[in-house]
Amino acid sequence: MAYSKSLAERMRGIVARRRGISEKKMFGGICFLLNGNMCVGVWKNSLIARLGQEQGDEALLEPHVKKMDITGKPMKGWVIVEPDGIEDDKQLSHWIELAITFVRTLPTK
């Protein structure tokens, strides 16, 4: 299954004016990197978000959120937010902001 181009466009609109954001095809989808570090992306029709271990564990308590496991091995600190959890831009922005806040703590690549 290809990734959702409409979700990618929505995400571009949210991150467009941010410094240090770049885009790269990965995981059969698309990822947005912040200062060279993977931050958020589109996988199929869901959002993937890098939140770090602690915040990622907390996010798993939210509806429509699950561990990021697209290869058979879950990626620690990453979550998948299913389409029902990102129906509107406010929800999508929330998850993107959480990821950006975490990724800003990482050293630039």
Distance CA(50)–CA(40), nearest Å, equals 6
Whether 81 contacts 65, CB under 8 Å:
yes
> Average pLDDT, stretch 46-74?
95
pLDDT at position 27 over 80? no
Q: Please write the tens of the pLDDT for every residue from 73-100.
A: 999 999 999 999 999 999 999 999 999 9
Please state the domain extents for the chain: 5-73+84-103
pLDDT at position 70 over 90? no
90: burial class by Cβ within 10 Å (0-12, 13-18, 19+)? Answer: exposed
pLDDT > 90: percent of the chain: 89
Q: Which residues pair with 78 in a beta bridge?
A: 50
Specify the pLDDT at position 28.
84
